[in-house]
Structure 1
Amino acid sequence: MSAPAVAPRPRFAIVDIARGVAIIAMVAYHLCWDLSYFRFIAPDVGRDPNWVLIARSILAVFLFLVGVGLVLGHGKTIRWRAFRRRTGFVVLGALAITLGTFLVFPDSFVYFGVLHAIALFSILALPFLFVPLWLTGLVAAAMIALPFFLSNALFNEKLYSWIGFWQVPPPTNDLVPIFPWLAAVLIGIVATRLILASSVATRLAAICPTGRLPRLLAGLGRWSLLIYLLHQPILLGLIYPAAAVLQPQIAMRQTDFLASCQSTCEAGGTTAPLCTTYCQCGLEGVQQNDLWDAIYSGMVSAQQQTILDASNRQCSALIYPALNDTP
């Protein structure tokens, strides 16, 4: 006699909408990251504290929704066939990202990014669909707290960095370690189990927006995994050729040079207008003598240093004419 079929849970449109909003935010962030990397925009999106906060907030929402999806997708009985199919697809996507980023960014390729984390976290989180809520919450709290108290140089190595506890993370464009990020999935599990055990679940399930925008967001949410896989190749396919043609890094390095020079000059007590004249003169000297590589690398030959010194004297004489009389 076959076991009775498990009644499927209702689909929560609000969860699909939340996924849609999250994937739009992720695509927007990666667009800004790409524009920053190719120097179309000035902020260093990968390191600027405000941008880092934005990235981590988006990641936390994504992983929270992974926990929500695990509860809604399985409930009290794990649907192994569906779980293996979805996890296998995520693993293949993660491997594709590793290969793609290795080809494009060999020094900072993604070896344990968002999709790698989602695949592993989905497996690690399965037992927490059934254990007492207080235990799940306790484990989540411990996972958040431990990185504040435990660190070791061993975890600076790529081989172990996916666990967490590093002192200095290895170079990579995306790293989502178990500690503390598995906690976001567990919090999603706790929140969803609490909601499903209350009357709130019925009211949330009844929410079915009919407007064009909610339907669009819900559709994006249902296809969020595929969108995540495809959006970066599409963005890079557009931005990389544009950067090769427009060469925004040239204009940006000129802007950076002038800003740094202006700040240093004014800090020495020279007025802003004179500093502007001095720095513009210095920029012309760097360009005419093709000294960009020397300046950015810090590897200045004796001949290049002589040229720089002569340019500095010429620019100083331009703003302080009395220097022209100096023997």
Structure 2
Amino acid sequence: MQTRKKRLETIDTIRGITLISMILYHFCWDLKYIKGLNMPWYGTFGSYLWQQSICWSFILISGFCMHFARKPIRNGVLVFLCGIIITCVTVLVLPDAPVYFGVLTFLGSAMILLGAVISLYNKINSTGNAGLSGINGKSNGPDLSVANSKDPLWGLFISVVLFAITKPINRGFLNLFVSNIALPDTLYGQVGQDVLHNSYLTYLGFMQNGFYSSDYFSLMPWIFLFIAGYFLHSVIKKKFGFGIFHINIKPLSWIGRHSLIIYMLHQPVLYGITMIL
């Protein structure tokens, strides 16, 4: 989404709405857990659904927008580094509510991984196409997109199924729909062990015993939702075209275009407001 011509304003608008929702959610968190206000409704199933609607929207949109990233791996590294900054700041300023493996760390990782897969896929297909070009004297010019190589609906379906299966992986089991399968306890560490011991397992999704983060998004299950967003782009493009994605509500789309910087700044601002109240 680098040029104005290619931007899908509706996606920016949805991202802007989601960002506002996230800011309100985090403000409520600050009021309850930092200021100590009595907010019994916050922490109920309803607030959980609110939180899930925010993260699902962000992750789906981020996967969707991989189609418009000129340098997805570089973008992923930038977002990942922003996640590291968030971790360092929260450890120093809010040691009781640190952020380890937060949403930016996850999104950066997902961009790097999917970007690498797409790059490798495109190189393999480019090599094959170049060979055909040498034989036939011309290039067939195939679409090298991973999402468009097969029916994207299958990619979307498989990604959603894998997300549903691995959704409870942080809690020690997989969802097989008719029943659950427990994963080995050894993957989740020992009680009393250093919470950052085997942190790579927590990063992958096997949350170690005693680990706490006020914002935790492991690679599994969320990578599958990210990939679902990537395939969703091609499903919608194939079925509906892109006219619906050029609805521009300027204040909201402006917020959506600047989501990363707003995300980085919103919590310090909310923290200051909370302290002033």
Tell me the TM-score normalized by structure 1: 0.61
Q: Please state if 1:98 is matched with 2:87.
A: yes
Match of 2:101 in 1: 112
Match of 1:322 in 2: none
Task: Determine if contact 2:90/2:99 at 8 Å carries over to the other structure.
Answer: yes
Give SS of 2:212's match: coil
Give SS of 2:242's match: helix
1:219 CA drift (Å): 0.3
* Separation (CA, whole Å) in 1 of partners of 2:16 and 2:4: 22
- The structure richer in helix per residue is 1
* Separation (CA, whole Å) in 1 of partners of 2:106 and 2:210: 16
1:191 CA drift (Å): 1.2
How does 1:1-327 map onto structure 2 within 5 Å? 10-37=6-33, 38-43=35-40, 45=42, 47-71=43-67, 73-74=68-69, 79-80=70-71, 83-126=72-115, 127=117, 130=146, 132=150, 133=152, 134-135=154-155, 137-146=157-166, 147=169, 148=174, 149-153=181-185, 154-155=187-188, 157-158=195-196, 159=199, 160-166=201-207, 170-198=211-239, 200-205=240-245, 207-209=246-248, 214-242=249-277
Give SS of 1:175's match: coil
* Separation (CA, whole Å) in 2 of partners of 1:139 and 1:150: 21
1:48 CA drift (Å): 3.0
Letter in 1 for 2:32: S
Give SS of 1:39's match: coil
* Residue-pair matches, total: 222
**Which is higher, the Rg of structure 1 or of structure 2?**
1
Give SS of 1:18's match: helix
Give SS of 2:104's match: helix
1:114 CA drift (Å): 0.7
Give every structure 1 segment of 4 or more consecutive aligned residues whose post-TM-superposition deviation is greater than 6 Å: none
* Separation (CA, whole Å) in 2 of partners of 1:150 and 1:192: 34
Identity %: 27
Judged with a 3 Å threshold, the aligned counterparts in structure 2 of structure 1 residues 195 and 58 are, in CA distance, closer, same or farther, namely same
* Separation (CA, whole Å) in 2 of partners of 1:176 and 1:226: 20
1:169 CA drift (Å): 6.6
1:186 CA drift (Å): 1.4
Task: Determine if contact 1:151/1:166 at 8 Å carries over to the other structure.
Answer: no
Letter in 2 for 1:220: I
1:202 CA drift (Å): 3.4
Judged with a 3 Å threshold, the aligned counterparts in structure 2 of structure 1 residues 25 and 151 are, in CA distance, closer, same or farther, namely farther
TM-superposition CA deviations, 1:173-209 (whole Å, max 9, x none): 01011221112211211211112233x223224x344
* CA root-mean-square deviation: 2.5
